[in-house]
Structure 1
Amino acid sequence: MLKGIPDLISPELLKILHEMGHGDDLVIGDCNFPAASNAKRLIRCDGHGSVDVLDAILKLFPLDEYVECPVSLMELVPGDDAVTEIQDDIKNIVCKYDDRREKAVEYVERFDFYEKARNAYAIVATTERKLYGCLIIKKGVIK
């Protein structure tokens, strides 16, 4: 055990976060996200939701200050009547850690989101059951 590391950050996830460099993307996928088929590196985070995982990661992980939107959410598919309150919860967590607040968040069309995810450094697979609980965060620098 280490001091200051949230309990849900596994040794494997900590290693991945440490390995990542400035500009690398990390996907946090919900239970429906095709994580295993798209990941270069896959970290399972079963038993945890996207919001809690994001909050734990952002305690350790700087968001990129050199891009307009270091956080990407999946845009609602036209005609889908899903409730996306989880995206508000995600934005609230981002606001805790980034002075740009909601301006740090962009929405990406579903298939563009998948393409971006395939190019990510790693994917964290959660068991988040709320629809549209997927996001991509871009790593910044430690100053």
Structure 2
Amino acid sequence: MKKQGILNSHISKVLSELGHTDTIVIADCGLPIPQGVKRIDIALKPGMPGFLNTLETVLEDMKIEKATLAREIQVHNPSLHQDIQSLIDQETEYVPHEQFKQLTREAKAIIRTGEATPYANIILHAGVIF
């Protein structure tokens, strides 16, 4: 059994297979997941597990160079937006939510959480460790 890092074997596998600029999405329970994109569903019930806990855990194991958020999070979920900003030092790009949903089609995987607050979604762009 793993002693450190992400215990979820599906998430661990996806992270280990990422190349530079590949993307993954951490999503609330309502974000539509496009056909053909790997779904890693960890939702148990509304709010569990939460988006922020999932993001923190993934960031401990993933080197990112950029993040993408829906612009609407700034108005409709400002407290979560602030929490995300405190976790991510890298460039953050903001796009309209409809464009965000289109970008998820290119993701290697979407991790569906139990989060049930508006616009609790993020696209993480893989960086390199060297």
Contact 1:39/1:123, CA 8 A, preserved across alignment: no
Q: Which amino acid is 2:12 matched to?
A: L
Q: Secondary structure at the match of 1:13?
A: helix
CA RMSD of aligned residues (A): 1.8
Say whether residues 1:76 and 2:77 are aligned partners: no
1:1-143 matched pairs, under 5 angstroms:
1-6=1-6, 9-35=7-33, 37-38=34-35, 40-46=37-43, 47-64=48-65, 70-76=66-72, 82-94=76-88, 98=89, 100=90, 104-143=91-130
Unaligned stretches of 5+ in structure 1? 65-69
Q: Which amino acid is 1:53 matched to?
A: T
Q: Secondary structure at the match of 1:87?
A: helix
- Aligned pair count? 125
- Structure 1 distance, partners of 2:126, 2:56, is 14
- Structure 1 distance, partners of 2:37, 2:98, is 18
TM value normalised by structure 1: 0.79
Once the two structures are TM-superposed, the CA of residue 39 in structure 1 deviates from its matched residue by: 5.2
- Structure 1 distance, partners of 2:77, 2:103, is 23
More strand by share: 2
- Structure 2 distance, partners of 1:83, 1:50, is 12
TM value normalised by structure 2: 0.87
- Structure 2 distance, partners of 1:38, 1:28, is 16
Unaligned stretches of 5+ in structure 2? none
Identity of aligned residues (%): 29
